[in-house]
């Protein structure tokens, strides 16, 4: 295997070598917006039938060069940019010796926008039967956040992204079209420039266990350190037919990030500084004093430099940033430091061959305090859940009514407990993508992609003797370290052929993809550590553990998109996958799709109608299959060795399932896209019905076998619902623009069958307390606990065990946004909402247990039984998870040459706020929940259990950006 890899790398190096120089004709132009006449940056200008392309610069200017041996007058230039109608311009009547002006119109309908769907190569949205959400650099550039999932919050109409807890670098829960899987985390797979990257959004198998068991606590998410610098655009497709060609792990959707690889003309340099205040969100605390005990005002800062330039022969774009935040939790316990660097370039090797490359390096350090049920002391459990009654010798746990002396004691204890913590995470990440495009014929393009993602994470948790003495633990000092090294390689070869026969057009895409990733984790710890010791070697005794997983997946795919009269389209595709995780009896897995797209508005009869109201009409329907492959090695029956009492020992390991195969999500959808009022309003509606068959459930066999739970393809999960999105350009004048967008998505989720297996939990504690559970006839991850009945006098009467207490999946989710521009002043706001779901407020239940509050419990019951029945009426602690949250808002003013003269090309200043307003149905934050799944690394969770987690903090940031 290693030899093969070496050969491939050599081959790539050969391909990447010398660039030839050709005689050239230069064409210069400028691209402006048709209405406001403002210049448009980032428009891709390409020569049709050729791989040559360039990008417009900050002033909308571009230079493209043509080889001398081509007839310039015969050439066709194509202008494409996310959010604008694409345009083809013949050079026949253009005087190429002068600057020519190209006007592009803003386009909400985006029918002819080119996207990279399926695999590797591009296709116009017109031909697609599925929805693709494209987010431009313009759309995200003003957002003052620097992690990819947070950046996409409220930007993708049919995806809901929730930051689970407010600690730096923590996990998120991403939901699109409900929850397809009860074993795989719902985070979509992520590609950067065609290369799959690590998307682990839960704790690792061997990871820092600061909260509620390793798997469910706040962990360092690998989404938190994907650099967000230098992004050209982002595409998101949800599962089903849209992701069929991605194969065995695309059922949760695919997120593709494309980075910039070119500027235009001589170097354009931009410098940006963001500085501001970060404040912990204390709105949801039960005790007013919690905030003053734990929070402080933090300073957040970020500096970035970008540089790009080039022409159609060679272009580059690079960015570097440094961000630092000293953290809103006292004693630097939520500090972060992030350095990102990304560089991309493209080079024309010959008239037919282009080479593109991007290289990314990121380094992130974080600190974190103990959270959730870390055992001993954790800030919110101690203060908010009443555990101060039992920890550290006991305190007055009714914080707000504590006397001055009592409060001073608590304050001193918390201050010491926070000061004595030393938990940190360090990530170094390197990514690269190398792409060769070969235009074999005018209508035949090949693309070869190779790239890697390497992510090395080290976590460290030190528990000192001083900390143990403080919390009155008899334990000695210890240090635990956890290394996780992820390495993934993607190799892909795709060809695309375009043909026209009469009214028919054929777009054929075929390719093969290989990816391999390894995940090596090492946990090592030292015990009996003297205070001040920072390495494992200093422990009197040392211990180590290792986890290793490796996956190889190969796939072939073929897609045929047939068009008739440029308005009827039939989309057919199939992918075949082999994967090392499949059982020995499972052969190649096939994923087919079929879809139709009909552009009614391209019918001649339609063109004759008045199009002022209804301008564009597209209908689409499709059927497709996508999968989630099982984890590595679960097909094998193993024995687990280890040590015991100074000897080698071995016992039963996992019960292998030789029939294990991917679960498959069969998706049907039908929808329409309407462009109204000359496409100033886009209305999109889709009905979807996804059924996951052979769903992988991790269920226990009979207890009498003595074996642990194992994977079986036994479930059926259904998700159906509607998706609506509207975008409107309400006002479009030279000086004043007003754009709004809103979306509403419904989902009806049901576990249709569990194959007769017992219910199992995705999150939470034990069956007797609160869990989120998978059970036939109920939605995935519903809240299960005891439902209590009360006598007429309000005292407890009886209860039903493991009752349905509410679904954690909101029936309705969506987002909306607003952009206003008056001359050079712009304002934006983005918000998310959800309605119709529930979450278990375990904080409240704990508070009741410890006697810190009796909220929600009948007074008669409290008087009679005290807290004895705290677990018998858990429904009293289940709250509605409805919310409306403003994620980001800001105001920005741009100066250009008219104001600045020649000193700068552009200068903009702005102020923005992150998470400024939260409106929730509950007193608690439905997003401050345990982010991981109980089944371990990468396992499914719907969230739904609020347990001693912080809410995402607020930030108020001032920005200045200068372009030279």
Partner 1 sequence: MKKLFIYSALSLSLASCSMDVVNPNITENSFVGTSQSSEIWLAGMKKQLANTLNQAVVFAEIVSDNYYNNSSLTNKVFDGPVLLYSDVDIDNTQRAIARLREMGTYGIERIVPADKGATATAKAEMLFIKAYAHILSGELFVALPMAANTEAVSPAVHFNEAIKLINEAITTQTDATLKNGYQLALLRCYYNLGNRTEALRIANSIIQSSSLMVRNAVFDGLNGASNLQQSYTFSNSTNVLAPLPRLDFLDPKYYHVGNVNTDQKPLAILKSEEAFLVAAEAYLGNNQLEQARTTLKALINDVIAKRPTAMVDAKLQLRKGIRADYPVASATRVQADAQSAAQSKLVLGRLEGNVKVNTVSGTSVTIAELDKAETVDQLLYLLSLIRQQVFMSEGRRMTDLGIRFPVSQIEKLNNKKIDDAFTKAVLPAYIPTGIAMDDFTYDKANNLVVIKHDMNKVLVANKTAPNVFPMLK
Which residues in 615-654 contact partner 1 (CB under 8 A)?
632-633, 636-645, 647-653
Using CB under 8 A as the binding rule, whether residue 552 contacts partner 1 is answered as yes
Looking from the CA of 197 toward its CB, the CA atoms found within 13 Å total: 29
Q: How far apart are the first and last CA of the chain?
A: 49
- Which of 414, 280, 167 has the alpha carbon at shortest distance from 949? 167
- In the list 408, 613, 868, 960, the residue contacting partner 1 (rule: CB under 8 A) is 868
Distance between CA atoms of residues 711 and 183, nearest Å:
9
Q: Rounded to an integer, what distance in angstroms lies between the CA atom of residue 360 and that of residue 365?
A: 17
Task: List the x/- string, 170-209, binding to partner 1 by CB under 8 A.
Answer: ----------------------------------------
Residue 14 or 23: the one with the smaller Cβ distance to partner 1 is 14
Among 64, 135, 251, 491, the residue binding partner 1 under the rule CB under 8 A is 491
How near is the Cβ of 868 to partner 1 at its closest, in Å? 7
CB of 941 to partner 1, least distance (A): 18
Query: How many of the other CB atoms lie within 10 Å of CB of 412?
Result: 10
Considering only residues 565 to 604 of the shown chain, the ones binding partner 1 according to CB under 8 A are: 578-580
Residue from 236, 413, 598, 850 touching partner 1 (CB under 8 A): that is: 850
The answer to whether 513 and 491 have CB atoms below 8 angstroms apart is: yes
Please report, as residue ranges, which positions from 519 to 538 form the binding site for partner 1 (by CB under 8 A): 527-528
With CA atoms as reference, report the closest residue to 506 among 556, 444, 590, 594. 444
Residue closest to 784 by CA, chosen among 804, 765, 766: 804
Of residues 879 through 908, those in contact with partner 1 by CB under 8 A are none
Shortest Cβ distance from residue 542 to partner 1 (Å)? 9
Which of 49, 213, 592, 701 lies at the binding interface for partner 1 (CB under 8 A)? Answer: 701
689 binding partner 1? (CB under 8 A): no
Task: State the Cα–Cα distance between residues 707 and 20, nearest whole angstrom.
Answer: 64
- Considering only residues 485, 689, 707, 753, which one is a binding residue for partner 1 as defined by CB under 8 A? 707
Write out the binding residues for partner 1, residues 381-420 only, by CB under 8 A.
Answer: 387, 389-391, 393-394
Kind plus residue range of the DSSP H or E element containing 191: strand 189-192
Side-chain half-sphere of 351: how many Cα atoms within 13 Å?
A: 12
The distance of closest approach from Cβ of residue 708 to partner 1 in the complex, given in angstroms and rounded to an integer, is 8
* DSSP code of residue 37: -
512 is a site residue for partner 1 (CB under 8 A) = yes
Tell the smallest beta-carbon distance from residue 346 to partner 1 (Å): 17
Least separation in angstroms between residue 791's CB and partner 1 is 16
Q: Residue 678 — left, alpha, or beta (φ > 0 → left; ψ -120 to 50 → alpha)?
A: left
CA 131/CA 394 separation, integer angstroms: 57
Which H helix or E strand runs over 405?
helix 404-419
Exactly one of 89, 136, 422, 543 binds partner 1 (CB under 8 A); that residue is 543
As given in the structure block, the two tokens for residue 380 are: 């919110």
Task: Give the shortest CB-376-to-partner 1 separation in angstroms.
Answer: 5
Positions 8 through 37 that interact with partner 1 (CB under 8 A): 8, 11, 14-15
Round to whole Å and give the CA distance between 524 and 542: 7
* Of residues 807-846, those binding partner 1 (CB under 8 A): 846
Taking the least distance from each CB to partner 1, the nearer of 690 and 784 is 784
- Give the x-and-dash track for 711-750 against partner 1 (CB under 8 A): ----------------------------------------
Among 29, 144, 376, 630, binds partner 1 (CB under 8 A): 376
Which of 76, 514, 614, 958 touches partner 1 (CB under 8 A)? 514
CB closer to partner 1 out of 338 and 447: 447
Min dist. Cβ of residue 286 to partner 1 (A): 17
Q: Render 502-566 in DSSP notation, one character per residue.
A: TTEEEEEEEEEEEEEEEEEEEEEEEESPPTT--SGGGSSEEEEEEEEEEEEEEEEEEEEEEEETT
Beta carbons of 827 and 890 less than 8 angstroms apart: yes
| Smallest separation, CB 933 to partner 1 (Å) | 17
Which helix (H) or strand (E) covers residue 160, if one does?
strand 159-163
Stretch that binds partner 1, among 324-332, 542-550, 678-686, 820-828 (CB under 8 A): 542-550
Pick the closer one to partner 1 by CB: 875 or 918.
875
Site for partner 1 in 442-461 (CB under 8 A): 446, 448
Radius of gyration of the chain (CA): 29
- Positions 927 through 946 that interact with partner 1 (CB under 8 A): none
- Site of tokens 């712009």: 826
Q: What are 829's strand-pairing partners?
A: 818, 889
The position carrying tokens 């993708």 is 156
Smallest distance, Å, CB 483 to partner 1? 16
Three-state DSSP state, 223: coil
CB of 769: closest distance to partner 1 in angstroms?
Answer: 7
Note whether 90 binds partner 1 by CB under 8 A. no
554 binds partner 1 (CB under 8 A): yes
CB of 795 to partner 1, least distance (A): 13
- State the Cα–Cα distance between residues 117 and 631, nearest whole angstrom: 26
State in angstroms the smallest separation of the CB of 368 from partner 1: 20
**H or E segment and range at residue 315:** strand 314-325
Q: Applying CB under 8 A, which part among 127-135, 153-161, 373-381, 557-565 lies near partner 1? A: 373-381
Question: 514 and 491 in contact (C-beta within 8 Å)?
Answer: yes
Q: Which is nearer to partner 1, 532 or 730 (CB)?
A: 532
CA distance 121 to 261: 17
789 near partner 1 (CB under 8 A): no
Task: Outline where 420-497 has alpha helix (H).
Answer: 465-470
Restricting to residues 318-337, name those near partner 1 by CB under 8 A.
Answer: none
Q: How far is the CB of 243 from partner 1 (least distance, A)?
A: 20
Q: Distance (Å, rounded) from C-alpha 62 to C-alpha 70?
A: 20
Nearest residue (CB) to partner 1, 546 versus 793: 546
The count of chain residues that interact with partner 1, using the rule CB under 8 A, is 94
Phi/psi of residue 267, nearest 5 degrees: -60, 135
What residues from 241 to 300 belong to the interface with partner 1 (CB under 8 A)? none
| Residue 709, number of CB atoms within 10 A of its CB | 16
Q: Please, what is the minimum distance in Å from the beta carbon of residue 520 to partner 1?
A: 9
The Cα–Cα gap between 564 and 503 comes to 5
In three-state secondary structure terms, 830 is strand
The whole-angstrom distance between residue 402's C-alpha and the CA centroid of its chain comes to 43
How does DSSP classify residue 97?
T
User: Which residue in 25, 94, 269, 375 binds partner 1 (CB under 8 A)?
Assistant: 375
Choosing from 403, 608, 766, 902, the residue that interacts with partner 1 (CB under 8 A) is 766
Contact call for residue 777 and partner 1 (CB under 8 A): no
CB-CB neighbours of 519 under 10 Å:
22
Nearer to partner 1, 267 or 466 (CB): 466
Residue 274: CB minimum distance to partner 1, A: 42
Q: Distance (Å, rounded) from C-alpha 804 to C-alpha 916?
A: 34
Q: Which residues of 849-874 are buried (b: 16+ CB within 10 A; e: fewer)?
A: bbebbeebbbeebbeeeebebbbbbb
Q: Work out whether 706 is an interface residue with partner 1 (CB under 8 A).
A: yes
Alpha-carbon distance of 84 to 124, in angstroms, equals 13
Q: Pick the piece of the chain touching partner 1 (CB under 8 A) from 335-343, 601-609, 755-763, 920-928.
A: 755-763
Task: Considering the complex, state which of residue 477 and residue 671 has its C-beta at the smaller distance from partner 1.
Answer: 477
Residue 764 lies near partner 1 (rule: CB under 8 A): no
In this complex, which beta carbon is closest to partner 1, that of residue 375 or of residue 858? 375
């Amino acid at each position: 295997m290693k030899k093969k890899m070496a050969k491939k790398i050599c081959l790539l190096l050969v391909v990447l070598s010398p660039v030839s120089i050709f005689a050239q004709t230069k064409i210069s132009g400028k691209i402006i917006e048709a209405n406001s006449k403002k210049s448009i940056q980032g428009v891709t200008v390409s020569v049709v039938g050729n791989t040559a392309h360039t990008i417009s610069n900050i002033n909308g200017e571009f230079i493209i060069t043509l080889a001398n041996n081509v007839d310039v007058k015969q050439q066709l230039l194509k202008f494409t940019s996310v959010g604008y109608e694409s345009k083809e311009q013949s050079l026949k009547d253009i005087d190429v010796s002068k600057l020519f002006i190209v006007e592009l119109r803003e386009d909400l309908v985006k029918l002819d926008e080119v996207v990279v769907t399926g695999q590797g190569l591009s296709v116009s949205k017109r031909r697609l039967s599925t929805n693709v959400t494209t987010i431009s650099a313009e759309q995200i550039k003003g957002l003052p956040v620097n992690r990819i999932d947070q950046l996409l919050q409220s930007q993708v109409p049919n995806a809901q992204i929730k930051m689970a807890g407010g600690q730096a670098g923590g996990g998120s829960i991403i939901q699109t079209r409900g929850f397809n899987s009860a074993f795989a985390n719902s985070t979509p797979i992520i590609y950067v420039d065609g290369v799959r990257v690590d998307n682990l959004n839960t704790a690792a198998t061997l990871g820092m266990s600061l909260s509620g068991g390793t798997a469910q606590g706040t962990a360092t998410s690998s989404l938190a350190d994907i650099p967000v610098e230098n992004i050209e655009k982002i595409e998101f497709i949800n599962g089903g037919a849209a992701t069929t060609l991605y194969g065995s792990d695309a059922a949760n959707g695919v997120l593709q990030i494309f980075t910039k690889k070119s500027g235009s003309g001589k170097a354009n340099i931009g410098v940006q500084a963001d500085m501001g205040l970060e404040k912990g969100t204390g709105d949801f605390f039960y005790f007013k004093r919690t905030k003053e005990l734990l929070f402080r005002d933090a300073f957040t800062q970020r500096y970035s430099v970008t540089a790009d330039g080039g022409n159609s022969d060679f272009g580059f774009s690079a960015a570097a940033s440094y961000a630092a935040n000293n953290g809103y939790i006292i004693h630097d316990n939520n500090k972060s430091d992030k350095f990102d660097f990304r560089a991309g370039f493209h080079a024309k090797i010959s008239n037919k061959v282009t080479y593109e490359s991007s290289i990314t390096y990121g380094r992130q350090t974080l600190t974190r305090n103990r959270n959730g049920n870390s055992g001993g002391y954790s800030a919110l459990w101690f203060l908010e859940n009443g555990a101060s009654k039992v920890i550290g010798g006991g305190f007055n746990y009714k914080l707000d009514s504590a006397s001055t002396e009592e409060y001073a004691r608590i304050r001193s204890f918390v201050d010491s407990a926070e000061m004595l913590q030393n938990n940190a995470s360090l990530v170094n990440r390197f990514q690269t993508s190398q792409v060769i495009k070969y235009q074999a014929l005018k209508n035949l393009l090949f693309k070869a992609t190779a790239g890697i993602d390497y992510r090395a994470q080290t976590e460290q948790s030190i528990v000192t003797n001083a900390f143990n003495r403080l919390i009155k633990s008899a334990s000695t000092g210890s240090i635990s370290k956890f290394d996780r090294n992820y390495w993934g390689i993607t190799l892909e070869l795709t060809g695309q052929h375009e043909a026209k026969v009469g009214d028919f057009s054929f777009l054929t895409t075929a390719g093969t993809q290989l990816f391999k990733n390894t995940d090596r984790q090492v946990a090592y710890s030292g015990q009996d550590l003297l205070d001040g010791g920072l390495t494992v070697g200093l422990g009197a005794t040392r211990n180590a553990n290792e986890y290793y997983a490796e996956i190889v997946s190969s796939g072939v795919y073929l897609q045929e998109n047939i068009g008739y009269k440029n308005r009827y389209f039939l989309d057919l595709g199939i992918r075949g996958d082999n994967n090392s995780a499949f059982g020995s009896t499972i052969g190649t897995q096939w994923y087919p799709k079929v879809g139709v797209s009909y552009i009614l508005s391209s019918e001649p009869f339609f063109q004759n109608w008045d199009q002022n109201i209804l301008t564009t009409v597209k209908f689409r329907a499709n059927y497709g299959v996508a999968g989630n492959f099982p984890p590595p090695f679960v097909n094998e029956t193993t024995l687990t060795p280890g040590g015991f009492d100074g000897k080698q020992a071995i016992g039963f390991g996992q019960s292998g399932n030789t029939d294990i195969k991917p679960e498959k999500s069969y998706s049907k959808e039908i929808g329409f896209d309407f462009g109204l009022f000359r496409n100033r309003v886009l209305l999109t509606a889709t009905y979807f019905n996804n059924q996951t068959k052979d769903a992988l459930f991790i269920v226990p066999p009979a207890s009498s076998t003595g074996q642990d739970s194992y994977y079986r393809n036994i479930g059926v999960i259904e998700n159906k619902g509607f998706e609506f999105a509207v975008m409107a350009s309400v006002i479009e004048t030279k000086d004043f623009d007003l754009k709004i967008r809103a979306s509403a998505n419904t989902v009806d989720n049901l576990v249709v069958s569990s194959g007769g297996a017992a219910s199992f939990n995705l999150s939470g504690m034990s069956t007797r307390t609160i869990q989120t559970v998978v059970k036939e006839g109920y939605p995935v991850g519903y809240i299960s606990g005891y439902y209590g009945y009360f006598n007429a006098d309000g005292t407890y009467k009886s209860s039903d065990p493991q009752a349905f207490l509410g679904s954690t999946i909101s029936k309705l989710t969506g987002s909306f946004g607003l952009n206003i521009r008056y001359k050079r002043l712009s304002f934006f706001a983005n918000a998310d909402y959800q309605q119709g779901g529930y979450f278990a407020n375990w904080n409240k239940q704990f508070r009741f247990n410890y006697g810190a509050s009796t909220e929600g419990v009948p007074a008669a019951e409290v008087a009679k039984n005290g807290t004895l029945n705290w677990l018998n009426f858990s429904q009293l602690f289940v709250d509605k998870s409805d919310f409306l949250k403003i994620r980001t808002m800001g105001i920005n003013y741009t100066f250009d040459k008219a104001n600045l003269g020649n000193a700068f090309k552009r200068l903009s200043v702005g102020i923005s706020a992150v998470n400024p307003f939260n409106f929730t149905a509950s007193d608690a934050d439905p997003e401050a929940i345990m982010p991981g799944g109980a089944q371990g690394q990468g396992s499914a969770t719907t969230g739904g259990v609020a347990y001693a987690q912080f809410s995402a903090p607020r930030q108020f940031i001032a920005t200045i950006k200068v372009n030279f």
